[in-house]
Amino acid sequence: MDKEDDFQISEILFKYVPWWPLFVLLLIVSLSCAFVYLRYTVPVYEISANILIKDERKGLDESSLLESLDMFGSKKIVENEIEVLKSRSLVRQVVNNLMLYAPIYEQGRVTDVSAYRRSPVKLELKHPEDVNEIEKVNFTYDSTNARVIINKHAFPLNEWGSFNGDTVRFISNPYYSPPDEKKPLFFSLINLKKSVGGLTEKIEIAAVSKQATVISLKIKDEIQVRGENILNELIRAYNRAAIEDKNLLASNTLAFVEERLRGVTEELGEVESSVEKFKTTKGIVDISRQGQIFLESVEESDRKVSEINMQIAVLDQVEKSVLSKTDNSGIVPSTVGVNDPLLNQLLETLYQLQLQYERLRKTTAENNPILVSVQDQIQIIKPRILENIRNNRNSLVAGRNNLNTNSNRYSSLLRNIPQNERELLDISRQQGIKNNIYTFLLQKREETALSFASTVADSRIVDPAEASLLPTSPKRGLVYLVAIVAAFGLGMAIVYAKELLNQNILFRSEIEKSVKWPIIGEIAYTDTSEKIVVTEGKRNVIAEQFRQLRTSLDYLGINETKKKILFTSSISGEGKSFIAANMAMSLCLTGKKVMLIELDLRKPKLSPLFNVKPGVTGITNFLIGKVGVSDIIQTTKVNPNLDFIPSGPIPPNPSELILSDRMKELLQYLQGAYDYVLIDTAPVAPVTDAHILSKFCDATLYIVRHGYTPKIHVKRLEENNKIRGLKNVAIIFNGLKGRGFGKYGYGYGYGYGYGYGYGSES
């Protein structure tokens, strides 16, 4: 740390240390306020939870076994899932399930606190969306009879009743923890939308990073258990919604397969009955080898034709489903049997868009740009699906026509086979086709049912909700630190403002900035009744200050030949008479012969100091020519080396008398008769006496009084001195007082100086 830093620290310390009682008082008040704030402020805890989302863009996939079981699983986008978690529909479920629309409070002496764990019961509404709001309802709990008493009306637990136009019931609180001191309880009923809106604002949901698929959920709550329950219930509601979406798709697909299976079962039963009846009637047991070969060829063609017909039927069903989805709210059925990857991809995309549309519609307005964009994408992809269906249908029809041609060719060959055998082959061929279709549908039904039963959510809980051990607010250390800083800051501001707004001179530095005249001495303030403080044998501080001032006269060139010193100031009351009298006494103590002249002819103050009665013969009488020099000189009793010339009667024209030749004669005489001649004259601001006398003197001591002399007068000193010059000027800083409550004063102007209880007001 360099000298400049040391100086700045010293300046700050000496500027504010004298005011230490003020800082102590403010510190006590501030710490008391902090204590009261901490005493009655309910601590708030932070509760957090993390869940993992399967995001298709970030490569998070399940094993192939799980994927095979979850046929209808869909990949999620983290940003979309964050909006879903923030949705009012999920938060509404949390509010309803935890009954947050009916909070219960514990009445305190100063503030009311939540009784989430201190209330033995919870309040449930049958229709919370239509609740009639009420601010405060006092109640008591009768544990003996298990009932709640409100205004002498009893509500048994777990039974619905009517209150304030709502259907309510009280249930046991599973989180109840008996308090040490039982206090009155009351509950409030809040509009469901307000409860949902308030809770939505409290929950913070965000991805932990741009690369991760983990979502962080946070909430700040006064009750740790309540905060944990809110986040856990929100996660459960989110997972339930995801599973319901999957189950809805699986249910629609299963219903479609079941419908097809019933039709094929009936057709297969009819074919089997025909075979049995034909064989019984015709007595046919076996078919010839040639007929068998033709039959297999025709059967293969017919099987393929049936598969094509089934695919065409599926395409018709899909086309019908797509064309009927005008509100974007349905589920696209599965394309069972159609092996077109492009069509499956388009349908999967349509399904994802419709699912996304449904999710967004729950969380955003109808005219939201994102919702409109998803709806436009749905309208764009539907024509592509329909075009693909038409192309597939045309291809299947062409293939079916080709197969029919081949089948007809083989059928013509079979005409050579006995008619009975040919009829049997026809019936057997239909039986095989229906049996294959039946087996295929059974397989698809089992796969769909298995996927339905194994549906899981597309998220995993990484960390369940857990509250912090320590409250996040208020932080005791920080509150006390702020209180301490505020106390010191306010104290410094008060001190700074007090001194900044003062229009009078307080610091030596203020004088030094305004004028270039030297400051040759500082005199401390005193409230003593004694005006002559420099006497023989006194060794107090103020006497020492006058001795230092006496030594400083050499700096002004005062010597055996230059001995006339003028004392003046800006305005009356700055202590020039006090300084002149005690300066004269200080010079007398060195054995020098000193003359003190009272030339303030308007408001003389020296005479009372030397017990001279007003109106005695003085310098006024001499200047008008009525008396001689010897008639006005008086020997003082305070010191034999000190003579005094009083002002005499107050004349009507002081300035003109001072300009007379007799004034010059008097000063010339005194210069030869005395070692020092000290002249106390009037202030320079109201009159010009000092400027007149200054040219006859060898030095001018200008008095500036601390806390009394206006700054404006000091700032104009040099400017005025250029016009009405004072000769060989030096400044004495008088009446320095201690700053604040300490003994450090304003001397030197840098925040420290003298202040020992002495000084002058005269």
Query: Which two three-digit tokens encode residue 684?
Result: 């320079």
Looking at 250-254, 381-385, 420-424, 619-623, which range is the least confident one? 420-424
pLDDT tens digits along 162-198: 998 889 999 999 988 888 888 899 999 999 999 999 9
Helices (DSSP H) in 538-628: which residue ranges?
541-552, 576-588, 619-623
Please tell me the pTM assigned to this model: 0.54
Residues counted in the chain? 762
Question: How many C-beta atoms lie closer than 10 Å to residue 450's C-beta?
Answer: 14
CA dihedral 338, 341, 346, 351 (to 10 degrees): 70
Q: What is the pLDDT of residue 344?
A: 78
* Sequence ranges of the domains in the chain: 3-41+481-499, 46-240, 243-463, 504-749
4 pLDDT higher than 80: no
Rounded mean pLDDT of 534-548? 82
Question: Rounded to the nearest 5°, which phi and psi values hold at 145?
Answer: -100, 5
Which of 11-15, 130-134, 231-235, 390-394 is modeled with the greatest confidence?
231-235
The mean pLDDT value for 481-505 works out to: 84
What is the chain's mean pLDDT, rounded?
80
Sign of CA dihedral 430, 432, 433, 435: positive
Q: Does residue 293 carry a pLDDT above 50?
A: yes
Residue 658, pLDDT above cutoff 60: yes
Encoding tokens for residue 124? 């449930």
- Tell me the per-residue pLDDT of 228-267, one tens digit each, with 9 for 90 and over: 999 999 999 988 888 877 777 767 777 777 777 777 787 7
Contacts of 404 (CB under 8 A, 6+ apart): 301, 305
CA 590 to CA 585: how far, in whole Å? 9
pLDDT band at 380 (very low <50, low <70, confident <90, very high): confident
Can you give the pLDDT at residue 282?
54
Q: Given pLDDT bands bounded at 50, 70 and 90, which one contains residue 421?
A: low
Fold held by 504-749 = Rossmann fold (3.40.50)
Neighbours of 618 (CB within 10 A): 27
| Residue 325: exposure state from Cβ atoms within 10 A (0-12, 13-18, ≥19) | middle
Q: Alpha helix locations (H) across 170-223?
A: 192-202
Confidence of residue 455 (pLDDT cuts 50, 70, 90): low
Q: Which tokens sit at 67?
A: 């994927």
Amino acid at 717: L
